[in-house]
A = this chain, B = another copy of it.
Amino acid sequence: MADEFDIIRTYFAPLATTPGALGLTDDAAIFAAQPGFEHVVTTDAIVQGVHFLDDETPANIAAKLVGSNLSDLASMGAIPVGFTLACAWPKATPDAFIKDFAASLKPWVEDYQFPLLGGDTVSTPGPLVFSLTAIGAVKTGTALTRGGAKPGDTVYVTGTIGDGALGLDAARGALEDLTQEDQAFLADRYRVPKPRVQAGQGLIGQAHAAIDISDGLIQDLGHIADVSGVHIEINADAVPLSSAAKSALALDHSLINRVLGGGDDYELAFTADAPPTGLDVPITAIGRVRAETASVQVIKDGVPLKLQTLGFQHFA
């Protein structure tokens, strides 16, 4: 592995496409809000062998890392400002891997105007670890949170649900009865998040509560239920599915557990008292907010499902 300073200068400085990053020559970077705006910040860490496979490509790791953090900004309705990145590299990491990883960040930096502001490069005797801190901006007092859902709200999602989890299955070769095309579509949905950054900004002033679907639809709606102190009822049959996901479910009905419980969709789930307008992505109403105990209930074929049977742990 090359010297820390060489790595920063050669591979990462080209990502620092803002004067405030000081060309990564300083210990810190400078950023400012437009008048009337405030900032949001979110941090995510991923570990080789835990959050990505040991043989995952640098491009796929970069996509998941940046995409998932942009999705967190989207869930607040924030405009991307920039990010810092801490990388712990195993000593045996080939320079080509680091180079490819940094190059794979470049399209994200450009497409989302999301410059690298700074970070740290260290070596580790353990697995690769990346920690990304994303900074965004919102008009003061308007950030979307998990806490604003109100009884009577409708629950919506953007795009289609379940592709992430089914895509992981497809990438592992577990959906071989699907067409190659469907498998490839799902695997790509798993590997490359399409964070709903524009839609999130569009939801400001329209949504009462929002979250991005990273842990799985039911668990993430559970966070809204917990923090808002409301009951959420979902109609499983209303959850929007891609054509590929429909094909997978037609072959194996039990995959509904993956659709509702799996993660990595990076769509937005939100509640609102009227259908939001002006978004750049389809939305679908999938349920209602009620003034009962904070929890999530799934209705399937008109019958409440016991969530334990879906294997969920992490919520009330």
Give residues in A with beta carbon < 8 Å to B.
Answer: 3, 5, 22, 25-33, 38-47, 49-51, 72-73, 75-76, 78, 84-88, 117-120, 122-127, 129, 131, 133-136, 138, 140, 143, 145-147, 211-212, 223, 226-227, 314
- A30 CB to closest chain B CB (Å) equals 5
Tell me the bound Cα distance from A41 to B314 in angstroms: 33
Residues of B close to A29: CB separation below 8 A: 40-42
Assess whether B27 is in contact with A42, with CB atoms less than 8 Å apart: yes
Decide: A28 and B84 in contact? CB cutoff 8 A: no
Closest 10 A-B residue pairs measured CB to CB?
A: A126-B126, A131-B131, A32-B38, A45-B86, A28-B42, A43-B84, A86-B131, A133-B133, A27-B72, A28-B40
Instruction: Say whether B129 contacts A88, CB under 8 Å.
Output: yes
Q: Which residues of B sit under 8 angstroms from A75, Cβ to Cβ? A: 27-28
30 A-B residue pairs with Cβ-Cβ distance under 8 Å, sorted by A, are: A3-B314, A5-B314, A25-B226, A26-B76, A27-B211, A28-B40, A28-B72, A28-B73, A28-B76, A28-B143, A29-B41, A30-B38, A30-B76, A30-B143, A31-B39, A32-B33, A32-B39, A33-B39, A41-B135, A46-B122, A47-B123, A49-B125, A50-B124, A51-B122, A124-B126, A125-B127, A126-B127, A126-B129, A129-B129, A133-B133
B27–A120 CB distance below 8 A: no
Name the B residues within 8 Å of A86 (CB-CB): 43-45, 86, 131, 133
Q: Which residues of B contact A120 (CB under 8 A)?
A: 43-45, 131
